[in-house]
Amino acid sequence: MKRKSLLAGVLAGTLAAALSACGGGSAAAPSSAAPASEASSAAETKSDGKKVGISMPTKSLERWNRDGSYLEKQFQEKGFKTETTYADNKVDQQVKDLEGLIADEVDLLVVAAIDGESLSQVLGDAKDANIPVIAYDRLIRNTDAISYYVSFDNYKVGQLQGQFIIDSLKLDEAGSSTFNMEVTAGDPADNNATFFFNGAMDLLKPYIEKGTIRIPSGQDTFEQCGTKQWDTATAMTRMQNILGSNYSDGTKLDIALCSNDSTALGVTQAIESDYAGDGRPLITGQDCDEANLANIVDGKQTMSVYKAVANEAVATLDLGEAILKGEKPDEKLIVDSNWSFDCAYDTTSYDNGRAVIPSYLLTPVAVTKDNIQKELIDTGYYRMDGAYPKALA
Ligand code: BGC
């Protein structure tokens, strides 16, 4: 069960103003805002020509391109050299990428793993070479080589999706009405995927038990609902099969709980091609990918969850700098850095099989057609391009 220390977030909020007078730290960094490096005092930032190796999973899922470029931007603006690799969602490739980065003698590794279980050996090599490793966004399991984890509150992502369903369909006032739901979860190799699934399903379970929510396919476990590599076509095919077997007589589908946008895209396509019932189901997602935001504007997807990866990069930079200075960062980093975004320091939720990894968890936000302007445009993360939002990464 998810637990987090709220202390750091509270401290960050209440002490930020006081500390800013001391010239500390960095701000959130949508492209249009002042970059973190400019907001930091020169005295505390000495990269000494150090090099950061950034290992991303793939270019084929929109968000990792944004992550890669934000991380490069943040570190380069502080004078670091960067070397970034994308592994085409192939585990062997990511291992090779990491071997290359270690051979190139990077001083710090920032790694978003494709498969959280498969990097133990190569990260052991990083440890032997005294290269600190930050697990970025996805926890890396079964290794003692990682010292910290930077991510969003992944359980909360699922909770935002679940609560959105409860509120939108007024499930507490449903009486004897029933709603049909199908669930599409993420990649079983990605440690985040169960957090998203559990966050939503823990909230929805009482309604399933009461019979307010029915799952006609009967597929309600993470194992049954997972989508290898978060692949859009895989999610589409699975939903087409579910629709064919359970909804071809016109049975109404009310809810498609999808853990993220790449799977929501596939589910939306399946509904367009194979759904015989009335109306459109409520469809959830995560990431605010451009194609999904267009679907939200057009009424084909109902919500997404936005995670400001620009801020995730800022947190990673400040953490990485502290590690490279030989410090042992803890929740004080949040206060000292004076971030303008919420972040919790969590020392209980993310056990990687070897240790509980100290984690910096940023806060996700639910996005619908009604708050795209406020959450995405006014904040400077996206701009409108005609009728649709475009990311500014
Ligand atoms: C990330 C999500 C993303 C998914 C697929 C997860 O680890 O946290 O933001 O949708 O991977 O790329």
The domain that contains 253 carries what CATH number? 3.40.50.2300
Q: Whose CA is nearest to atom 6 of ligand 1?
A: 192
Helix or strand run (H / E) with residue 113: none
**From start to end of the chain, where are the E strands?**
51-56, 81-86, 108-111, 133-136, 146-152, 179-184, 213-214, 255-258, 282-283, 303-306, 343-346, 359-362, 365-368, 382-385, 388-391
Q: What contacts 24+ positions apart, CB below 8 Å, involve 272-277?
A: 272/300, 273/240, 274/239, 274/240, 274/243, 274/244, 275/243, 275/247, 276/243, 276/247, 276/248, 276/249, 276/250, 277/247, 277/250, 277/251, 277/252, 277/253
Please compute the mean of the pLDDT values over residues 197-206 and round it to a whole number.
98
Does pTM top 0.75 for this prediction? yes
Atom of ligand 1 nearest to the CA of 190: 7
In terms of residues, how long is the chain?
Answer: 393
CA 56 to centroid of ligand 1, rounded, Å: 12
The label of the residue with tokens 């005609």 reads 386
Q: Are residues 59 and 167 in the same domain?
A: no
Do 246 and 133 have their domain in common? no
Percentage of the residues of the chain whose pLDDT score is greater than 90: 87
Mean model confidence pLDDT for the chain: 90
Confidence of residue 57 (pLDDT cuts 50, 70, 90): very high
User: Hey, what are 284's tokens?
Assistant: 């959830």
pLDDT of residue 243: 98
Cβ of 287 below 6 Å from ligand 1: yes
Residues 6+ apart with CB under 8 A from 80: 47, 50, 51, 52
What is the position in ligand 1's atom list of the atom closest to the CA of 230?
5
Regarding the beta carbon of 184 and ligand 1, being less than 6 Å apart is answered no
In a shared domain, residues 120 and 174: no
Domain assignment present for 355: yes
For the sheet with 213-214, list strands across it: 213-214, 179-184, 255-258, 282-283
- What's the confidence (pLDDT) of residue 46? 57
- How many domains are there within the chain? 2
- At which of 286, 320, 343 does a domain end? 286
Same domain? For 279 and 312 the reply is: no
Residue 31 has pLDDT above 50, yes or no: no
Distance 191 CA to ligand 1 centre (A): 10
Within-domain flag for 24: yes
Task: For CA atoms 225, 226, 232, 237, give the dihedral sign.
Answer: negative
- The answer, yes or no, to whether any atom of ligand 1 lies below 6 A from the CB of 82, is no
CB neighbourhood size of 250 (10 A): 9
Instruction: Give a yes or no: residue 110 inside a domain.
Output: yes
Average pLDDT over residues 373-378: 98
Give the pLDDT of residue 10: 31
In a domain, 375, yes or no: no
Helix (H, G, I), strand (E, B) or coil at 217: coil
Ligand 1 atom nearest residue 64's Cα = 12
Helix, strand, coil tally for the chain in percent (to 5): 45, 15, 40
Range of the domain at 315: 19-152+308-362
- What was the pLDDT predicted at 41? 35
C-alpha torsion sign, points 119, 125, 130, 131: negative
Tell me, in angstroms, the distance from the centre of ligand 1 to residue 273's CA: 26
